[in-house]
Amino acid sequence: MIRFRPFLFAALMLLSGHAAAEKFTIAAAADLKFAMDEIIARYKQDHPADMPQVIYGSSGKFHTQIQHNAPYDLYFSADIAYPRQLEQAGFAASPVRPYALGRIVLWSASIDASKLTLASLSAPAIRRVAIANPRHAPYGKRAEEALRASGLWAKVEPKLVYGENIAHAAQFVQTGNAQIGIIALALALNPVLSRQGGYWLIPDTLHEPLEQGFIVTRRARDNAAAHRFADYMGSAAARAVMAKYGFVLPGEAGKTR
């Protein structure tokens, strides 16, 4: 133990040095996995002193956790209703800002889904269809709405498997355990997934809009870096990344890919 003391001391110095830098934690909906990674990488180049870290998961889970004082400084939800609820309950240190409209797609790793439609899901050859859990994942809710609006729910429901969040559902499809899934366009456009299969954009007339919003949380009200990052989301650089991943941006509604 004694031998390690100088090392430990150095490590502690290093850690405390980092603590002086501006650190903040982002809780982001799983559909942002690739877009947010890229935005953060660019943000770090522009703001080398800031140290963002990001956690991806289901919007509903983060909503619960923030109500129980989870250490998240920014919360990006796939459903703007969650941050609105938090704002009303006094958990926000910023107004709720819409940042994107999400889209859902049919995606498969083994079939070219661009040649399919929702009706193809009722074919007997399709045995498992992955969606996010509609009870708490916004993308799952929209998937259910689209299936119901197409009159396919009764036929497709017995084939459904539920991911904990939209990335989990995409992973079921990517490993081939479900032949097809309804996932976020943003995930289908990432380099790994877009190399396989193909996707079919589900018409947004079949479901409620996936309006996405974020807040700076109450615990971060004095965290300058967290507010800096919030502002950065409106920058041309961040918007370019979001657009690349298929998000429709606020102020550009109506424009579809």
CB of 177 to another protein, least distance (A): 4
Q: How many CB atoms lie within 10 A of CB 197?
A: 20
Which residue, 63 or 103, is less far from another protein as judged by CB? 63
CA distance 143 to 106: 10
Binding mask 90-129 for another protein (x = CB under 8 A): --------------------x----------------xx-
Among 43, 76, 172, 247, binds another protein (CB under 8 A): 172
Quickly tell me which residue has 């509604």 as its tokens.
253
Binding-site member from 162, 198, 204, 228 for another protein (CB under 8 A):
162
118: which 2 tokens? 């929702």
105: enclosing H helix or E strand: strand 104-108
Least distance in Å: CB of 161 to another protein?
A: 3
Number of residues this chain uses to bind another protein (CB under 8 A) = 22
Taking the C-alpha atoms of 249, 250, 254 and 257 in order, what is their torsion angle to the nearest 10 degrees? Answer: 0
Cβ contacts of residue 73 below 8 Å, gap of 6+?
Answer: 24, 25, 26, 216, 217, 219, 220, 223, 226
Stretch that binds another protein, among 19-27, 175-183, 221-229, 232-240 (CB under 8 A): 175-183
Selection from 177, 173, 176, 189 nearest residue 241 by Cα? 189
List 88, 117, 177, 194, residue binding another protein (CB under 8 A): 177
* Closest CB 78 distance from another protein, rounded Å: 13
135 near another protein, judged by CB under 8 A: yes
Phi–psi pair at 250, nearest 5 degrees: -60, 140
* Those residues with Cβ within 8 angstroms of residue 215's Cβ, 6 or more apart along the chain or in another chain: 74, 75, 83, 86, 87, 91, 92, 93, 94, 95, 96, 97
Binding status of residue 244 toward another protein by CB under 8 A: no
Site string for another protein, 49-88 (x = CB under 8 A): ---------x-xx-xx------------------------
CB closer to another protein out of 31 and 38:
31
User: Whole-angstrom Cα distance, residue 184 to residue 186?
Assistant: 5
Pairwise CA distance, residues 154 & 152, whole Å: 6
133 interacts with another protein by CB under 8 A? yes
User: CB 153 → another protein: shortest distance, Å?
Assistant: 15
Q: Interface with another protein by CB under 8 A: which residues?
A: 58, 60-61, 63-64, 110, 127-128, 130, 133, 135-136, 160-164, 172, 175-178
